[in-house]
């Protein structure tokens, strides 16, 4: 197989998938860092974001890309609501109970999607898209925009975390929550802010997965393992790590069909996860270990 074929059939899809996983992994690493628990409902939050776009497209005839920001806002609100309804009172008791609750929330989100939209596959727009060719590398329009939007979101988030007062407050909470409280940082607001960002990123991840493949009620749940593997691979609590981990796993998954049966793609993420935990739990970029 020549290089161009490899790039077109494995690398490009891998990079697109990697971008999607990165967005999800960033959300997971933020929850790990700022709120210190494994958010098992993360995948299904992405599913909800994707299907909200579908609702807007089918009910209002909006262009999916225009509907995306609306869904982001709605998903952000949903994430904050989920926290206040189901997680807040448990965090004071014990972190692991929050994880159990999040498993229940995942089930509930998924059930809502299944009741409202059913379990069959859906798409945003029908038809075939022709890829554009750039020096022989074939990239579809939507793949290009997926990558561009992901880059914009990641850069925007990093700027926010590095230069704004509230971004720094989030980092402080992730670094040392007790000291953050002592310094007068409002932890409730910071928490709400964190969930808002998570909602935005999850909606994007779900949407990009949906628009590049298809929409199914279990799409987010199946992403959960790769997203967690990516967050742990990169280093828990590090946004750059989540991006790195996401890209590695996305590309690895797409390339894995060269030597693994395609049904076992997700097994690769699992294997990477176990290896990292066994060998280097802090991840590639030395994050936290919970």
Partner 1 sequence: MEWIGLANYAVFMAIFIGIYAILALGLNIQWGLTGLFNAGIAGFFAVGAYTSAILTGPAMEGRLGGFELPVAVGWIGAMLVAGLIAWPIGKITLRFRSDYLAIATIGVAEIIRLVAKSEDWLTNSARGLNNLPRPFGDLDYFYSQLAYLGLVLLCLVVAYLLVEHQFRSPWGRMMRAIRDNETAAASLGKNIAFRRLEAFVFGACLMGLGGALLAHFNRSITPEGIDPMIATFLIWIMLILGGSGNNRGAILGTAVVWIIWSMTEIVTDQLPTEMAIQAKYIRMFLIGLMLQLVLRFRPEGLLPEDPTQRKAKAGKAP
Partner 2 sequence: MSHTQTGSPILSVAGVTGGYGSGADILHGIDLTVGRHEIVGIVGPNGAGKSTALKAIFGLVQVRGGAIRFDDRDIAGWAPNRIVRCGIGYVPQVDNVFREMTVEENLEMGAFLRRSGVEAALQRIYTLFPDLVEKRRKPAGSLSGGQRQMVAFGRALMLDPQLLLLDEPTAGLSPRYCEQIFQIVRDVRAAGVAVLLVEQHAKQALSFCDRAYVLASGRNRAEGTGQGLLADREIAQMFLGG
Instruction: Pick what 228 binds: partner 2, partner 1, none; C-beta below 5 to 8 Å, kind-dependent.
Output: partner 1
- Based on the shown chain and the rule CB under 8 A, indicate whether residue 95 belongs to the binding site for partner 1: yes
- Which listed residue (153, 200, 273, 285) binds partner 1 by CB under 8 A? 273
Place of tokens 């074939």: 138
Token pair of 246 as six digits:
């996401």
Token pair of 94 as six digits:
């014990």
- Based on the shown chain and the rule CB under 8 A, indicate whether residue 92 belongs to the binding site for partner 2: no
CA distance 202 to 211: 14
- Which contacts of 269-275 are long-range, i.e. CB under 8 A and separated by 24 or more positions? 269/225, 269/226, 269/229, 269/230, 270/225, 270/229, 272/229, 272/233, 272/248, 273/225, 273/228, 273/229, 273/232, 273/233
Cβ 176 to partner 2 shortest distance, Å:
5
- Restricted to residues 187-246, the positions that interact with partner 1 (CB under 8 A) are 224-225, 228, 232
Instruction: Pick what 96 binds: partner 1, partner 2, none; C-beta below 5 to 8 Å, kind-dependent.
Output: partner 1
- Per-residue x/- marks for partner 1, 61-90, CB under 8 A? ------------------------xx--xx
- Which listed residue (165, 259, 261, 278) binds partner 2 by CB under 8 A? 165
- Which listed residue (270, 282, 284, 286) binds partner 1 by CB under 8 A? 270
CA distance 185 to 272: 37
Token pair of 42 as six digits:
């993360």
- Based on the shown chain and the rule CB under 8 A, indicate whether residue 267 belongs to the binding site for partner 1: yes
Instruction: Pick what 104 binds: partner 2, partner 1, none; C-beta below 5 to 8 Å, kind-dependent.
Output: partner 1
Binding footprint of partner 2, residue count (CB under 8 A)? 16
Determine the 3-state secondary structure of 235 from DSSP: coil
Determine the 3-state secondary structure of 133 from DSSP: strand
Is 75 or 217 the residue whose CB approaches partner 1 more closely?
217
Cβ 97 to partner 1 shortest distance, Å:
6
CA distance 88 to 185: 18
Contacts of 156 (CB under 8 A, 6+ apart): none
Residue of 136, 134, 160 whose CA lies nearest to 147? 134
- Based on the shown chain and the rule CB under 8 A, indicate whether residue 189 belongs to the binding site for partner 2: no
- Which listed residue (138, 168, 265, 280) binds partner 2 by CB under 8 A? 168
Contact residues: partner 1, CB under 8 A: 37-38, 40, 85-86, 89-90, 92-97, 99-101, 103-108, 110-112, 114-115, 118-119, 224-225, 228, 232, 261, 263-264, 266-267, 269-270, 273-274, 277-278, 281, 289-290
């Amino acid at each position: 197989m020549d290089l161009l074929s490899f790039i077109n059939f494995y690398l490009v899809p891998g990079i697109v998938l990697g971008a999607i996983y990165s967005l999800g992994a960033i959300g997971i690493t933020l929850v790990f860092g700022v709120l210190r628990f494994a958010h098992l409902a993360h995948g299904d939050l992405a599913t909800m974001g994707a299907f909200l776009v579908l609702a807007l497209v089918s009910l209002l005839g909006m262009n999916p890309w225009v509907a995306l920001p609306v869904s982001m806002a709605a998903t952000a609100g949903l994430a904050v609501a989920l926290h206040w309804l189901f997680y807040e009172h448990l965090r004071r008791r014990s972190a692991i109970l929050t994880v159990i609750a999040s498993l229940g929330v995942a089930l509930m989100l998924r059930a809502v999607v299944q009741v409202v939209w059913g379990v069959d596959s859906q798409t945003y727009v029908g038809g075939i898209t022709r890829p554009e060719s750039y020096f022989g590398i074939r990239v579809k329009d939507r793949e290009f925009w997926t990558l561009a939007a992901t880059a914009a979101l990641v850069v925007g988030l990093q700027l926010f975390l590095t230069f704004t007062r509230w971004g720094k407050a989030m980092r402080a909470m992730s670094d040392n929550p007790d000291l953050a409280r002592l310094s007068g940082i409002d932890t409730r607001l910071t928490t709400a802010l964190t969930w808002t960002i998570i909602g935005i990123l999850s909606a994007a991840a779900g949407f990009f997965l949906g628009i590049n493949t298809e929409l199914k009620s279990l799409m987010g749940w199946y992403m959960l393992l790769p997203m967690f593997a990516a967050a742990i691979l990169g280093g828990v609590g590090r946004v750059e790590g989540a991006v790195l981990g996401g890209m590695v796993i996305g590309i690895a998954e797409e390339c894995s069909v060269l030597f693994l049966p395609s049904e076992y793609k997700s097994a690769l993420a699992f294997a990477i996860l176990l290896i990292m935990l066994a060998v280097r739990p802090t991840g590639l970029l030395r994050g936290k270990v919970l």
